[in-house]
Structure 1
Amino acid sequence: MALNSEVLALLDEMKEIRRNIHRNPEVGLETVETAKLIKSKLDEYGIPYSDCGVNSVVAEIKGGEGDTTVAFRVDFDALEMEEENDFAYKSQVQGRMHACGHDGHCTSLIALAAYLSKNRDFNGTVLLLFQSGEEGYEGALRVIEDGFFDKYKVDYMFGFHNWPGLETGKIAVHNGACMASEDRFEIYVTGKSGHASMPHVSNEPFAAVADIIKGLQSIIVRKVPSHERGVISITQVHGGSMRNGIPDRVMVQGNVRTCNEDVQDLIEESIGQVAKGAATMYGVKAELDYVRKHPVLVNSVPEIGLKAAEKVVGAENVVTDMESSMAAEDYAFFMKHTKGCYVWIGNGSDSAALHNSKYDFNDEILPVAASFFIAVIDELL
Structure 2
Amino acid sequence: MKFSILGFGNIGKKLILNIIKNNINVKINNIFVRFLKKKDIIFLKKKNLKLKISKNIKDNNIIELTGNHKFLNFFKKKFFISANKRLISKHFYNLSYKNHLFEASVGGGIQIINILKNLNFLNFNKIDMIINGTTNFIITKIFYGSNFDKSINFAKKKGFVEKNINFDISGKDISYKTDIILKILKIKSKIKKFNVEKLNFSFKDYLLFFKKINKIVKYISKVRLFKNLIDVNISLFLVSGILKYVNFEKNIIKIKFKKTGSMIFTGKGAGKNPTCSSVISDILNIKNNNFKKNIFFFKKYYFVNNLIKFNSIIIINLDKNIKKYYILLKKNIILFRVLNNFLYIYTKKINNIRYFFLKRIFKTIFKI
TM-score bracket, normalised by the shorter chain, equals under 0.3
TM-score by length of 2: 0.24
TM-score by length of 1: 0.23
- Higher relative contact order at CA 8 Å, sep ≥6: structure 1 or structure 2? 1
Larger radius of gyration: 1
